[in-house]
Every structure is written in structure tokens, then in C-alpha cells.
């Protein structure tokens, strides 16, 4: 069954409402939770693949292309068992409609595998 719903606001059973702009633009367009050691996905939405390009260097591909490259990837990581803080580097980030690339790092050492990586993409 196909169709179109046109509304200015959306409301839940308790009477809480939000504008359709919030519902459309405030929702993640893709997300993934994966192992930073090998790219195994624990759970995901609109992510077709997680590719390990080299140690700590990843490409995330979308199942359904995004409208353009003007989206915001939010990436977090966990570095269990390390004594140095870890982080994410976008380096020469290229946001395409079908994928983006990023790197993980611990301290000053680039391209270090994180234990877990968490990503949400907003547009």
C-alpha cells in the first residue's frame, strides 16, 4: 500500500507533539554500532557496509543514498584497555551521498583500532 501523509505536527497517545520538521530533519538518517577491531556490525540502520581500509581507517556505506553530502556524521569510540585517551579524526573527510571515511586514533598514534565504534548520521 502506497500513499502520502500530510501533516504539520505529529502527536503521540499522551498528547506530546512535535513539528514535522523535527520528525523529518531531527531523526538519524543512518546509524551503526560495530567492533573497531574487525568491522563486525552489532546493529545498524541504513548502513550497507563497514569497510576496514587499513588499521583504524574506515569507510561507512549507506544502504539508501542521502540527498547530498551536507550531512553530519557523529562518531564516538571506546578504547578499552588503553591508558591513553582515544579519539576520531576525519582528516580529509569526503562526505558523498553513498559513504564517508574516518580514522580512529589513540593519543598521538594515528590509525589505532578502537574496541567499539558508534556512528549516527543526521541531515
DSSP 43-75: EEESEEEEEEEETTEEEEEESS--SSS--EEEE
pLDDT at 28: 92
pTM score of the predicted model: 0.77
Nearby residues of 77 by Cβ (< 8 Å), 6 or more positions away:
36, 86, 87, 88, 104, 114, 115, 116, 117, 118
Domains, the chain, in order of start with CATH, read 28-122 (2.60.40)
CA distance 118 to 35: 9
Confidence of residue 96 (pLDDT cuts 50, 70, 90): very high
| Residue 46 falls in which region: left (phi positive, over 0), alpha (psi -120 to 50) or beta | left
CA distance 46 to 48: 6
**Region of poorest pLDDT, from 25-29, 43-47, 62-66, 71-75:** 25-29
**CB contact at 8 A, 86 and 77:** yes
Mean pLDDT of 9-14: 82
The answer to whether residue 62 scores a pLDDT higher than 90 is yes
More confident residue, 87 or 7: 7
- Provide the 3-class DSSP secondary structure of residue 117: strand
Amino acid at each position: 500500500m502506497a500513499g502520502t501523509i500530510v501533516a504539520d505536527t505529529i502527536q503521540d497517545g499522551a498528547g506530546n507533539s512535535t513539528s514535522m520538521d523535527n520528525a523529518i530533519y531531527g531523526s538519524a538518517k543512518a546509524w551503526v554500532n560495530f567492533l573497531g577491531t574487525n568491522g563486525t556490525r552489532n546493529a545498524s540502520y541504513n548502513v550497507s557496509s563497514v569497510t576496514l581500509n587499513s588499521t583504524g581507517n574506515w569507510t561507512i556505506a549507506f544502504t539508501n543514498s542521502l540527498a547530498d553530502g551536507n550531512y553530519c556524521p557523529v562518531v564516538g569510540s571506546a578504547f578499552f584497555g588503553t591508558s591513553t585517551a582515544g579519539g576520531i579524526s576525519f582528516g580529509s573527510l569526503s562526505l558523498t551521498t553513498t559513504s564517508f571515511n574516518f580514522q580512529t586514533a589513540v593519543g598521538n598514534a594515528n590509525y589505532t583500532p578502537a574496541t567499539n565504534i558508534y556512528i549516527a548520521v543526521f541531515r
